[in-house]
Structure 1
Amino acid sequence: MGASSSFVLAVLTLHSASAMAGCSAVDLPAAQPSHRRWLQDTNLAARSEATIPVPIVARVPSEGSGSFPASSSRRGGHHPKPKEVARPAATGGSPHRPSPSKSHYLLTSMRWLYLIVLPAAGLLLLAGIACWLLACRKSAVATIGPWKTGLSGQLQKAFVTGVPKLQRSELERACEDFSNIIASYPHYTVYKGTLSSGVEIAVVSTMITSSKEWSEHSESCFRKKIDTLSRMNHKNFINLLGFCEEEEPFTRMMVLEYAPNGTLYESLHAEDFEHIGWRGRMRIIMGLAYCIQHMHELNPPVAHPDLQSSSILLSEDGAAKIVDMSVWHEVISKGKTPTNGELDPHHEQVSAALAGNVYSFGVLLLEIISGKLPDPAHERSLVILALECINNGDRSLVSLLDPTLNDHKEDELAVIGKVIHACIQSDPRNRPSMREITARLREAIGISPVAATPRLSPLWWAELEVLSAAEAG
């Protein structure tokens, strides 16, 4: 028998010993293809017929890699009885056809992972990165056209660096060559401007026209006020949108939100302004309370330097908007650089400044519900009249109520009277905080912060288009 026949006989013997007892050599022709398939499954390398000796079957672990080394020896043509080999159970319960090993399934799964899943995940990741880069590139395009809707490079920069710096030429164009004057005062002028999107703005300019008259003190006040106003960010405050500073021609301007319904002072005391009913006045009171509390709780806290009815503007739907124009008086002062309303929380005067705002708020409440001017120089000032009513036991202040307010609520008026009495205490230490005042008023009036804010006011700064280059100014 040749070497090839000896090898086949040895393999047949292995199969016969482990599978079926009594199987003889006559089964060789039928069994040979099955064993060839089994040998192929075990990844045995083919050897030449001349060099293949008779194999001696080694024990194979029951859980292996799917292949095993075959070593053989030939001793005088004697074929020792092969040892029993542990093989995986055959599929379908047949002992003659071993099933693929666990490693085979693992390799198959890994092959799918490397060929399909990982490339697909990589493509999705690359697509996401590409979309993000495209969005960033679109948002970083150069500014085009004057006062276009959208976010310019300068406006995007404002998200990081604060309030954007604008060019005088752009403000001049928006304000019709600065001919659209809506208010003029000894120290500043207010212009109305309109963007191409239709959004209205207020541009406030100093009356100083020469850099020689603009001292270091003036510049310090101007910049500190910009920093303070940029931190306000409250819907019941006239927020700062941008500023302009140029030397030729000399320019110092601030761009603010525009409130179309004038001041609270005008609405309460001017005959040609629309009358405000009880509910409208309660909404104004709550908007003021929420905004002043917000200012006092900033870090560092901010006290309004001149809180009165002329410093409160009204939005299109009648909501209160506090404005701070004090900087235009401060820049021409000759004394020590003022605080611009911003207070050091560790300074000894912080409590006095905040308590001063509380007192002013109490006076505002009196003016709103009575419709009378709080003239402190008058012999019978509004505060004195209120104290007389309270001392006489009439805490509801009915005798001071505006006679046009036929729809007032007694319970709300009673709470307002108690708050006024607490706010106008002569000793600042006895006055409540704005947080306490706001809580008491909200409990009685029931107007939330959302209801007190302008419903028709867009996000002005999002409409503002900045054209000035980074090096301008």
Structure 2
Amino acid sequence: MGYLSCNAESAIATCDPNYWDLKNKNGSPNTRSRRTIHKHKLPQIREFEYSDIIAATKGFSSDSFLGKGSHGSVYKASLDNGKIIAAVKKTKFSKPAAANLRNHAANCRGCAKCNSPAENEIEILSRVRDTRCLVNLIGFCTDSNDNKLIVVEYMPNGSLYDLLHSSSTRPPGWKRRVRFALQLAKAVQTLHSSNPPVIHRDIKSSNVLIDEEWNARLGDFGLALRGHAEDVRIKCTPPAGTFGYLDPSYLAPGDVSTKSDVFSFGIMLLEIISGRKAIDVNYSPPSVVDWAVPLIKHGEFIRVCDRRIGTPSDPTAIRQMAALAARCVRSTAEKRPSMSEVVECLKVVRKRIHWSPIWKSLKQRVARAENMQALARKEMHDASEEVVSARKTVKAVSRRNSRKVSSVPGVECESGHRNHRMARSKSMGCSSSSAGGFVRRNTKTGMTVRVKMPVAKLNKSRSMGGLAS
């Protein structure tokens, strides 16, 4: 358990003699630095007088106290007649510990135990600066015991831990949570992509601070390592971190890598999704990993969501984010994604969560219009089929009604002759000179013969209904 504690001796010593060259050419402190922090431009790092820090924090009074960090207390400071509002980190070092550290540093050649957490943070933040996602360094000073105090940007809206777990404040919604996750992923990506890369080693929700514009910033670089994993200084640095966020495969100095930060980020992502702490003895199992990962593997994403805010409007978003968190906390470091992959995945999730209500309404209207058009096309198709069917029926009926008798075979006269054709009649099918038959005249003899009308069967027609004579 000694390796899990965050003590001064677990901080890296990247003894670079050039990083203290923060003064101007005359050797005096750089007092011509910018007095205000621009939104997009950071001021030059200043070296303050300890008396100025005492005055700015009102003697480190309780009224200026903001909270406790990993290595000491944090106080609010008003510098340059109120033009700069900052936070001062006062490292809690006892005199014997500081003396032993100075004696060790005087006799070593750059091992990992030379720097205090404050000195390490000054060294890291003087080289890696980002106005968007890191709590940046403003300056530093040295107290009467030669301990370094650092002055960083003031974050007025507390920490992510307080937002997620405080019962007195309303928990943030899904849009803000996804936004925080993406901003923190970009912060860790910035560290890993620097040259040489920086491994934070202490990523957790209490080290994430919220600025005045409600942006998430990653802070507290007291345990950070700057360099490659094969560097001698990193290999001799014992494991350190916070219990619950610490990579289980990080058991020896040589095991540290950027994937250790990926694991810690995955724990924090599960914390953002579920609203549960990394370790909470009020639940069984107490570890958020042991509780959430089996549910995610079985596809029970809804049970992982924070019940206080319900599920997001797009269920695909929570599935993607939960699956990403499960990938980050894999026991094998090689199977974890890089922070670049994490950023790209969270960008997709953010597009789903942060879809504008206007565009959502427009999308719904377009969908309704398309459904109505599809329904109208279907109705027109059905109607055309009915018209075609009706036309076929009319044609069939007209063909049946147009049938007429053209001749009457089998007609016999009195003399027994057959097949005498009869003249057509619209009403009867033949013409007759009398009701009982018709008269036939022989042109040669001049004799007239009356022929009786035989009974002839005719086809039915609508105008007759049937005829027999």
Q: TM-score range by the shorter chain?
A: 0.5 to 0.7
| Alpha carbons of structure 1 residues 423 and 212: separation in structure 2 relative to 1, 3 Å | closer
User: Number of matched residues?
Assistant: 284
Within the candidate set 241, 261, 264, 1:360 is matched to 264
Aligned to 2:138: 241
Aligned to 1:384: 290
Could you tell me the percent identity over the aligned residues?
27
Aligned to 2:95: 210
Q: Aligned partners of 2:340 and 2:288: how far apart in 1?
A: 25
Cα deviation for residue 407 of structure 1 reads 6.2
Per-residue deviation, residues 112-146 of structure 1 (Å, max 9, x unmatched): xxxxxxxxxxxxxxxxxxxxxxxxxxxx9x969xx
1:412 aligns with 2:314: no
Within the candidate set 248, 267, 274, 1:370 is matched to 274
Contact 1:312–1:321 (8 Å) recurs in 2:
yes
Q: How does 1:90-129 map to 2 (within 5 A)?
A: none
Within the candidate set 271, 276, 285, 2:167 is matched to 271
Aligned to 2:341: 436
Aligned to 1:344: 228
Q: Secondary structure at the match of 2:195?
A: coil
Cα deviation for residue 310 of structure 1 reads 1.0
| Alpha carbons of structure 1 residues 368 and 257: separation in structure 2 relative to 1, 3 Å | same
Please tell me the root mean square deviation across aligned C-alpha atoms, in Å: 3.2
Contact 2:36–2:84 (8 Å) recurs in 1:
no
Letter in 1 for 2:142: E
Within the candidate set 123, 146, 167, 2:49 is matched to 167
Letter in 1 for 2:57: C
Per-residue deviation, residues 157-200 of structure 1 (Å, max 9, x unmatched): x85xxx32211011112112221222246841211011324432
| Alpha carbons of structure 1 residues 170 and 447: separation in structure 2 relative to 1, 3 Å | farther
Contact 1:236–1:322 (8 Å) recurs in 2:
yes
Cα deviation for residue 249 of structure 1 reads 5.5
| Bigger relative contact order, structure 1 or 2 (CA pairs below 8 A, ≥6 apart) | 1
Give the TM-score of the pair, scaled to structure 2: 0.55
Structure 2 portions without partners, runs of 5+: 1-27, 106-112, 236-252, 354-469
Q: Aligned partners of 2:343 and 2:34: how far apart in 1?
A: 40
Structure 1 portions without partners, runs of 5+: 1-139, 328-339, 449-473
1:188 aligns with 2:72: yes
| Alpha carbons of structure 1 residues 211 and 201: separation in structure 2 relative to 1, 3 Å | farther
Cα deviation for residue 236 of structure 1 reads 1.1
1:220 aligns with 2:126: no
Q: Aligned partners of 1:389 and 1:447: how far apart in 2?
A: 22
Q: Aligned partners of 1:447 and 1:302: how far apart in 2?
A: 31
Is the helix fraction higher in 1 or 2?
1
Cα deviation for residue 345 of structure 1 reads 5.3
Q: Aligned partners of 1:443 and 1:315: how far apart in 2?
A: 24
| Alpha carbons of structure 1 residues 185 and 391: separation in structure 2 relative to 1, 3 Å | closer
Q: Aligned partners of 2:350 and 2:276: how far apart in 1?
A: 22
Q: Aligned partners of 1:245 and 1:274: how far apart in 2?
A: 40
Cα deviation for residue 205 of structure 1 reads 1.0
Cα deviation for residue 326 of structure 1 reads 3.1
Q: Aligned partners of 2:84 and 2:322: how far apart in 1?
A: 40
Letter in 2 for 1:432: P
Cα deviation for residue 265 of structure 1 reads 0.9
Contact 1:370–1:401 (8 Å) recurs in 2:
yes
Q: Aligned partners of 1:224 and 1:185: how far apart in 2?
A: 15
Q: Aligned partners of 2:334 and 2:345: how far apart in 1?
A: 19
Aligned to 2:411: none
| Alpha carbons of structure 1 residues 225 and 316: separation in structure 2 relative to 1, 3 Å | closer
Aligned to 1:284: 180
Give the TM-score of the pair, scaled to structure 1: 0.54
Contact 1:363–1:383 (8 Å) recurs in 2:
yes
Letter in 1 for 2:329: I
Q: Secondary structure at the match of 1:220?
A: coil
